[in-house]
Amino acid sequence: MLDQDNRYYLALRLAQSLSERYGNGLLLCGLFGSAMRGTDTPWSDLELFCVTDDPCPLKSASFIYHGIFVGVTVKKKGELERALSNPTMDWPVLMGILSVIEPLAGDGDLVTKWIETGESAPEERFRALLKRNLPKLVFESYGRIRSCEVRENENDLYPAVYEICFEMNRVICLLNRRWVTHDYHQGVVDACDFPLLPKGYAELAPALWRARGFSEVVPLAERLFNAYLVLLREAGLLPWDYRDPAELDELF
């Protein structure tokens, strides 16, 4: 295990080593996550985010160091800028990292430029992204919760709860063109201040995350899901619910 000082020293050591090895090809190497915030524990991981020019051979890597996970995520400059200006489902994750990253090597001024690139992406691109992906988000995980209820399968109930929370959080980020800077429960809470939310989200989503047993989970999931459908309908993004098999021919 590593204490805070040694974990931060390791981050500096890695950034310096990468900078020396890859030179100007390494545009940025920065620290994010709990080690950056100073809230890490001896069990916390260490996460670095690097951006390179396109010819640079540096690739993402992960390893164990003194019993902790260390992840080095590498994005090519062109790949990153395309994902920010023409959003992918990873847009909220990338913006969340860039908004909190502590540069350790490279040009920290580039971070501001990349954030501006992400913020200036046209709204219609977010809507197009959501239209392509909404059918496979939230609907399946909500159905899994209801299936667990019918089967009396509490073993799979809570993964489905977390799945619906994660997926709805991602949709909300893209719909609002905003991002969160935490994972898990705190990430759900972070989104509660967004302007476009399912009605009652600030109460329902955290409560669903904490709920235990079918008697708590199912009513909360139903209320949140129904409010989510209203939000999508009002935004003009509610996926079409096909009822005639013949209609499906036009999809393929």
Q: What is the spatial distance between Cα 23 and Cα 88, in angstroms, rounded to a whole number?
A: 29
Answer whether residue 177 is part of any domain.
yes
Residue 25 domain boundaries: 4-121
pTM (predicted TM-score): 0.94
3-class SS of residue 227: helix
My answer on whether 46 and 135 are in the same domain is no
Answer whether residue 41 is part of any domain.
yes
Q: How many CB atoms lie within 10 A of CB 26?
A: 22
Are 49 and 104 in contact by the 8 Å Cβ rule? The answer is no
3-class SS of residue 71: strand
Q: How many CA atoms lie within 13 A of 81 on its CB side?
A: 11
Q: Which of 121, 141, 166 is the last residue of a domain?
A: 121
**181-190 contact pairs (CB < 8 A, 24+):** 181/96, 181/99, 181/100, 185/209, 185/210
Name the pLDDT band for 1 (thresholds 50, 70, 90): confident
Any idea what the CATH number is for the domain that residue 90 is in?
3.30.460.10
Answer whether residue 252 is part of any domain.
no
Q: Measure Cα distances from 168 to 51, 89, 142 in Å.
A: 29, 12, 10
| Tally of domains in the chain | 2
Answer whether residue 71 is part of any domain.
yes
> What pLDDT, in 10s, does the model give residues 163-219?
999 999 999 999 999 999 999 999 999 999 999 999 999 999 999 999 999 999 999
Q: What is the spatial distance between Cα 23 and Cα 222, in angstroms, rounded to a whole number?
A: 54
My answer on whether 150 and 99 are in the same domain is no
My answer on whether 9 and 75 are in the same domain is yes
> What pLDDT, in 10s, does the model give residues 71-104?
999 999 999 999 999 999 999 999 999 999 999 9
My answer on whether 229 and 128 are in the same domain is yes
Answer whether residue 184 is part of any domain.
yes
My answer on whether 185 and 79 are in the same domain is no
Any idea what the CATH number is for the domain that residue 132 is in?
1.20.120.330
My answer on whether 56 and 19 are in the same domain is yes
CB within 8 Å of 98: residues ≥ 6 apart: 111, 114, 115, 118
Q: What is the spatial distance between Cα 228 and Cα 207, in angstroms, rounded to a whole number?
A: 15
